[in-house]
């Protein structure tokens, strides 16, 4: 099994797409096709063959987990990836993003423990890797005035945002609505798909499993990558209402 997984991580194109989606659900075919053909330059005519080979390869390597009606890509990169490769991938992503001193990544999350502790343990180190300044309302916004005004200012001035959806905290969902109304790129994080509202399930979501002994390290790396990816490809992280949604 380790050999199959190492083969996936070394295979041209397949490796890149695996690393892009590790820790996430495979999206609907339309979204998957757009990413594969536009970002990874797989010819449109070869998409169906690529998709079949990609899914069969990951299935053979035990890297797919079907749950809650979706197929999730398991993240084993820290177990079989050569040392330093993740740092190289971050540098490559960061090289194509212009980040100015003082630009912020605003974190929307519950404040109470244990999930409130993720800011210092997970989100701050992940955001620091990107070169952005991590900001959370209660910890870093200290101006006078109403808290909602401060949150609005933080959201509206952020270059990108992170939303922790675990527990479906109403304040987080409210702030996420503000961010989406402003068409801000948001990196979504959750421990369960049940905490992700149906209307958001077509957007990339990072899933983590606290029973995985490497979950913290994996989540830090993945959040950092998805922040840079969201800045490179904002269409993956910005909510766009469909015609059906608008009609409703």
Residue 86: per-residue pLDDT: 73
Contact between residue 18 and residue 63 where contact means Cβ atoms under 8 Å apart = yes
The per-residue pLDDT for 248 is: 44
Tokens at 173, concatenated: 């969902």
Phi, psi at 207, each rounded to 5°: -105, 140
Reference 61, options 25, 10, 120, 131; nearest CA is 10
List the CATH code of the domain at 1-81.
Answer: 1.10.10
The residue written with tokens 């029973």 in the block is 211
Per-block mean pLDDT, blocks of 10 residues, the chain (248 long):
91 94 93 92 96 97 89 84 73 84 94 90 96 82 67 92 95 94 96 90 90 92 94 83 47
User: Do 187 and 181 meet the contact criterion of CB atoms below 8 Å apart?
Assistant: no
pTM, two decimal places: 0.87
Gap between the Cα atoms of 50 and 38, Å rounded? 14
Domain boundaries, the chain: 1-81, 97-248
How many angstroms separate the CA atoms of 119 and 192, rounded?
18
CB distance 37 to 44 below 8 Å: yes
pLDDT given at position 82: 67
pLDDT the model gives residue 201: 77
Under CATH, what is the fold of the domain 97-248? Rossmann fold (3.40.50)
Residue 34 has what pLDDT?
92
C-alpha torsion sign, points 164, 186, 100, 23: positive
């Amino acid at each position: 099994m380790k050999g199959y997984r190492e083969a996936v991580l070394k295979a041209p194109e397949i490796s890149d797409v695996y690393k892009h989606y590790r820790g996430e659900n495979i999206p609907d075919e339309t979204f998957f096709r757009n990413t594969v053909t536009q970002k990874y330059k797989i010819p449109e005519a070869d998409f169906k063959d690529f998709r079949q080979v990609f899914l069969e390869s990951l299935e053979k390597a035990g890297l797919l987990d079907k749950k809650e009606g979706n197929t999730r890509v398991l993240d084993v990169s820290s177990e079989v990836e050569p040392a330093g490769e993740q740092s190289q991938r971050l540098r490559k992503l960061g090289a194509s993003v212009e980040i100015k001193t003082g630009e912020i990544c605003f974190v929307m999350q519950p404040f109470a423990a244990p999930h409130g502790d993720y800011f210092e343990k997970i989100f701050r180190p992940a955001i620091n890797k990107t070169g952005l300044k991590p900001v959370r309302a209660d910890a870093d916004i200290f101006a006078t005035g109403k808290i909602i005004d401060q949150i609005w200012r933080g959201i509206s001035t952020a270059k990108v945002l992170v939303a922790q959806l675990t527990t479906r905290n109403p304040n987080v969902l409210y702030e996420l609505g503000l961010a989406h109304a402003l068409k801000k790129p948001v990196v979504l994080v959750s421990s369960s798909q049940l905490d992700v509202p149906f209307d958001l399930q077509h957007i990339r979501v990072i899933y983590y499993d606290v029973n995985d002994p490497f979950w913290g390290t994996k989540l830090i790396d993945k959040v950092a990558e998805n922040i840079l990816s969201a800045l490179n490809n904002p269409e993956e992280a910005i909510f766009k209402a469909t015609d059906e949604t608008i009609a409703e």
